Structures are given as C-alpha cells and as structure tokens.
Amino acid sequence: MKKITCITLLLILPLLSMGQTFDFNTAEGWTGVQSTLVENGSTVTISFDADTDPKLRHLAANVTDPVTNGIIGITLKNNSSATEFRFVYQNLQAGSGTSGTVIPISANDTEFQTYYIDLSGQDKWDNAGAGGTQNEIDFAFREPGGTSGDNSIDAAGSIEIDQIIFVDVQPRPEKLAYEFNTPGDDEGFSNLVDASTDVSGGNLVITPDGGAIAKVTNGVNSVNAGANSHMHIVYKNESPTNNQLRIQFRSTFDNYAGFFGTNTSINSGMTDFETISLDLATIRTEWVGTAQDFQLAIRNTNNGGNASNADGDFVVDRIIFNNNTTLSLDDLSFSNVSIFPNPANTVVNIKGFNNLSKVQLFDVLGKKVFESNQLSNNQVDVSTFKPGIYVLRLADTNNNIMVKKLIIK
C-alpha cells in the first residue's frame, strides 16, 4: 500500500540536554588557523589556500564535564578536497600536552554532514574519570595521500561549520513520518520482543508469537516532543482477540531512563484501516524535550499478563508525528491503495484507487512516457520501458493526486 503525506521527513539534531553547544550565530571564540574565518549569521566558514593545513581552533571551549560529555559532534559542509580531520584536545590525564583522533569525512559536499567522535571513557579526555575542563580544541582538516606528499590540502577551498556539540549520548536523527513504502525496510522498527515483522505492500506487518506481549521498538530515530504533540497510527488489527495497543517511549524527562506510555483500545478482526490519534503532550507529562524508543505493544487484556494471541497480524500503514489533532485529507485519502510489485519488470498492479481518472508515468528527467484515462485489469504494462527509476502519478475524479516512486527492472 502506498500513501502520500504532506509531512516532511526531517533529519536534524534533536534538542538534547547538551553539556556545551556552539550554534555559530557568532564565531563564539573559534578562530581559523592557516585559514580565514568568516561569520555567516548561523554558520561560520574557514577558507584556505592551496597546500595548507587549516584548523578550526578554540582556546577556551570550557567543556567542564568531559566524563559526562564524551560524545563530540560537528556538522559541516566540506567544500574542499579534505578527506579527514584530526580532533585534537588536551591530555588531562598527563596534565600537559595533547592527544587526538582521526575521523574520515566526505569531500566536496553539496549538503551538511554530521560526524561524531566518541571519547567516552578515554582517560586522556576525561582525566581517567576524574574530570576537569577541556579548553584547547582543534579540528585539523587534512588530505593524506595528496600530491604534496604530506597531510596538507592540495587545493584552495573552504569548510562551512553549522554546529559543534559535546553530549553524553549520540543524538538520533529526527523522523516524523514512517510510511513503510520500501519492501524489507522497517524504518528503524527492528527491536522485536515476542514478535516478527515484514514490510510489504506499503505496510509494516507485525506478527505476534503468542504467550507474551508482542513488542516492536524503534531504536533509531527521535522526535522533538515540544514541536510535535500528537502521534497518529493508521492500523488494521486482523486478530479476532487482541484488543489493546500500548504506546511507549523514552524521553529527556528522565534522561531516557524508563519507558512511559498509554493504553488505547483497538478493534479486532478488522478488514479496513483505522486511525488512532493520541495527544501525547496531554496524556503524558513526560512527552517533553526529545523522545525516542517508540514502542508498539500489542495486548489482549483477557489473557494473563495481557499476552498477545498469535491469531492474526497487526498491520501498520503509517505512523506520523505532528501538532494536528487528526490526520489531514491528504494523509488519509489513499490509505487503502496498494501498488505492487515495486520493483517491477512486467506489470504494476493498482488496487483500491477509487474513481481513477488518469494515470501517468514520468522518467527521471520529468518526461511523460505513459498516460491513460483507464486501466485494463487495474494494471500498467511496464515491460517495454527501460530499467530505471520512474514517477507514477494517479489522479481521481476529485483531483486527489497520489505520486509514487516506481522502479522498473
């Protein structure tokens, strides 16, 4: 099943409790070495000549708790041929001198990239657990193996820095919409307890093992709870007996120590999809800061310990986080549409699209390669098209539009 939504997937750094953060609204004490630093308003850029060893340096970073804040993150766009940086810091254990670690980076970026250095438990960083203050810090950008024969960067270039953070836990990327459109991709819902999963037909299919509560947890992504109060789940419970869904999460409320959740009744033996919309900000005071470890627990309240029965799948069409009390028409119009197979090499089946008025197929250059006002047997013959990526566009008589990426083999 394919669906279309107006929710944009965001990959950003969540709002964690940070020991030290540099957002670069100004230079904030950072300077360029063998480079020129320019403030851009929300980023800084260091520019450098050819055959140099540019560094981003701070002499008073004031990272006061290196024991706790052992994860260092830097978000940058590398507009140069540099292929690594060496993170250099004070050797607090020795009381003098420096130490460092090398991190590979991509060259000639078109977008910002985030890199993490994990120094948790490193004696030189945190003074063997005794703590202290890390002040003198360098990000030394290098190009080993270049034509110069050393680590200097061969050509002139620049590196734009968006943020540097010192935290205790590596931030997870934020994701607000899960649509399960790629077969086999559970989009992070991969931690399973007494359950198995499959992703097919645009759905996450959860199969309880029986005898215990079936649980599926996303251990990959996060949500800015303050900006997204509601969670929406479009589901179909095919079990005739399982009757309750428990939604659980962890958050910065207690530094991710425990799960918090809420129970909601679900219909049993369903043949169509329905939507559960939960105002988590009202239901749970712990829905604050950054939330993660979202868990779906399928239960039968008639069993001891609320154990699930293994008599039917729990099918998830999509999960969306936003500030709306209900999903919009765009979110719901295509809940029962199924497009398969994808990838395809002979025909594509389109099921559940009511009042179809037009179907179009475009190649990656935007050229229309197919159009029809009706389908034979609800199928599109793709056997004559070259292998590649296409865009399938469907329209109904009310001008509701559905767009799906289609791969032809």
Verify that 209 and 287 share a domain, yes or no: yes
CATH of the domain at 245: 2.60.120.430
CATH of the domain at 399: 2.60.40.3580
pLDDT tier, 2 (very low <50, low <70, confident <90, very high otherwise)? very low
**Which one, of 390, 392, 381, 396, lies nearest residue 408 by Cα?**
390
pLDDT of 13 > 80? The answer is: no
Name, in order, each residue with C-beta under 8 angstroms of 53's C-beta and a sequence gap of 6 or more.
Answer: 34, 140, 141, 142, 151, 152, 153
Note whether residue 2 is domain-resident: no
Give the whole-angstrom CA distance, residue 360 versus residue 344: 16
Q: What is the model's pLDDT at position 82?
A: 96
Domain boundary among 141, 167, 193: 167
Task: Share the mean pLDDT of the chain.
Answer: 88
pTM exceeds cut of 0.85? no
Verify that 320 and 361 share a domain, yes or no: no
Domain boundary among 137, 167, 197: 167
**Which one, of 165, 142, 160, lies nearest residue 70 by Cα?**
165
Name, in order, each residue with C-beta under 8 angstroms of 206's C-beta and a sequence gap of 6 or more.
Answer: 195, 196, 197, 214, 216, 296, 298, 313, 314, 315, 316
pLDDT of 10 > 50? The answer is: no
Give the whole-angstrom CA distance, residue 375 versus residue 355: 11
Domain boundary among 167, 191, 220: 167
Q: What is the model's pLDDT at position 334?
A: 56
Average the pLDDT over each of 12-21, 257-266, 273-282 and give the range with the smallest value: 12-21
Region class of 111: left (phi > 0), else alpha (psi between -120 and 50), else beta? beta
**Which one, of 344, 253, 234, lies nearest residue 293 by Cα?**
253
Give the whole-angstrom CA distance, residue 388 versus residue 363: 8
Verify that 365 and 261 share a domain, yes or no: no
Q: What is the model's pLDDT at position 331?
A: 53
Note whether residue 232 is domain-resident: yes
Predicted confidence (pLDDT) per residue in 79-136, tens digit:
999 999 999 999 999 999 999 999 999 999 998 888 999 999 999 999 999 999 999 9
* Structure token digits, residue 25: 């609204």
Count of domains forming the chain: 3
Q: Which domain holds residue 198?
A: 177-327
Paired residues of 165 in beta bridges:
21, 73
Verify that 257 and 366 share a domain, yes or no: no
